[in-house]
Amino acid sequence: MEASPAHRPLPAPEHLHPALWRAAQLGRVTTPGLATGFAALDAQLPGGGWPRQALTELLLPHPGVGEWRLLAPVLAALQHGQGGDLPRAVMLFDPPARPCPWTLAALGLDVTQLVVVQGRAPTSLDSLWALEQALASGQLGAVLAWLPVRLRGVGSADPLRRLQLAAQAHPGPVFLFRELGARLKPSAAPLRLQLAAGLPDQLRLRLFKRRGPPCAQPLVLALPPVLCATAHARALLPRGLPQPHAVAVPA
């Protein structure tokens, strides 16, 4: 006999809608993420990689802690059309310094597929407006934007909320670089990471906002090396100790 509606088992809450998940599990996504190139990081991100159609905030104490080496695998994959996607350009908004073509090429990036948009002033609203329009076009592979410290609104709405809405029309990832103090401010970005330099050619990464449970321990990622063997060994020495070539050898 068929069970009456009153006695039928209720479905699990997370199966009622794709946007629902339990607090102890990673949020489900309708579109798989893009592989980061770091297996340990993929395992901690909903969708198994960088999210599409959403903002990702990277909070830095200062530029140059390893953010380019962190993002190089996914940027190169998008430029070369890996994974069945069409090759697409990468757009940079207000980078803090002129990108070095030789360094980016060594990381596997195609510098001819980089588009740089430089605003006239650090707090100019023109760059935020151009960023919003670029996201809404849906024609780019990835977008990297360095936001000003004093982020002012575009129109009357919260600029981050407007960017998140525009990112939903963008098929690829959107990375926003912000100062470390922004971690104390609310954000519409569903993924927020804090980056810090570790040992030579290492990056300490803390996930303090994601669609899922908090990540208690920071991740330590091995970045593509940029130091030669001698420089790497010298950098591992504690400060105050003599350099390898100055160590006395007993008779």
| Residue 251: inside a domain | no
Q: What is the pLDDT of residue 250?
A: 45
Looking up residue 229, the CATH number of its domain turns out to be 3.40.50.300
Q: What is the pLDDT of residue 7?
A: 63
Mean pLDDT of 58-77: 95
Q: What is the pLDDT of residue 248?
A: 41
Q: What are phi and psi of 238, to 5 degrees?
A: -65, 150
To the nearest whole percent, how much of the chain has pLDDT over 90? 41
d(CA 53, CA 172): 6
Q: Is the pLDDT of residue 28 over 80?
A: no
Q: Is the pLDDT of residue 106 over 60?
A: yes
Q: What is the pLDDT of residue 127?
A: 76
| Residue 17: inside a domain | no
Q: What is the pTM of this model?
A: 0.82
Q: Is the pLDDT of residue 142 over 80?
A: yes
Averaged confidence pLDDT in the chain: 81
Q: Is the pLDDT of residue 112 over 60?
A: yes
What value, to the nearest 5°, has the Cα angle with vertex 105 and ends 191 and 56? Answer: 5
Strand segments (E) across 87-163: 90-93, 114-117, 142-146
Domain count for the chain, please give it. 1
What value, to the nearest 5°, has the Cα angle with vertex 116 and ends 114 and 122? Answer: 150
Q: What is the pLDDT of residue 23?
A: 59
Confidence grade of residue 156 (pLDDT, cut at 50, 70, 90): very low
Q: Is the pLDDT of residue 194 over 90?
A: yes
Q: Is the dihedral of CA 96, 144, 93, 84 positive or negative?
A: positive
Q: Is the pLDDT of residue 85 over 90?
A: no
| Structural domain boundaries enclosing 222 | 36-233
Least confident piece of the model among 11-20, 50-59, 140-149: 11-20
| Residue 21: inside a domain | no
Q: What is the pLDDT of residue 137?
A: 84
Q: Is the pLDDT of residue 8 over 60?
A: yes
| Residue 122: inside a domain | yes
Q: Which residue has the higher pLDDT, 94 or 9?
A: 94
The residue assigned the tokens 């151009």 is 130
Q: Is the pLDDT of residue 246 over 50?
A: no
Q: Is the pLDDT of residue 1 over 60?
A: no
| Residue 18: inside a domain | no
Q: Is the pLDDT of residue 166 over 80?
A: yes
Q: Is the pLDDT of residue 110 over 80?
A: yes
End-to-end CA distance of the chain: 94
| Residue 8: inside a domain | no
| Residue 239: inside a domain | no
| Residue 47: inside a domain | yes
